[in-house]
Amino acid sequence: MKKYVAVVVAAVFLVLSLACVPVYANDNVIDKTGDWWATRGKQEPEKGLILAQRRAERAAKKADKEMKKATKNMQKDMKKAWGK
């Protein structure tokens, strides 16, 4: 019975640790798994190109999100400054 409890506790800990992965991490577990799946069975030149493209897309998406957030904050500050 104690073995089953230990296995359940370990499984819960593993699931919670995967769920708590930082969203803005450069290479989190979800991204690494997706990269592995996309490059599975590919040779090195093609593999490197695919990885570079996927990383560039993630970086662009992150930059776009940050830019929208900064724009929104700037608009809020402008409303406060001008009172409109």
Domain-wise residue ranges, the chain:
26-82
Sequence-ordered list of residues with C-beta below 8 angstroms from that of 24, at least 6 positions apart, any chain:
62
Q: What is the CA radius of gyration of the chain?
A: 21
> In angstroms, rounded to a whole number, what is the distance separating the alpha carbons of residues 68 and 13?
35
DSSP string, 55-70: HHHHHHHHHHHHHHHH
Stretch 36-56: mean pLDDT: 93
Q: Which pLDDT does position 18 carry in this prediction? A: 62
pLDDT band at 17 (very low <50, low <70, confident <90, very high): low
Q: Tell me the average pLDDT across 9-37.
A: 74
pLDDT tens-place string over residues 52-78: 999 999 999 999 999 999 999 999 999
Q: Which two tokens stand for residue 68?
A: 């929208």
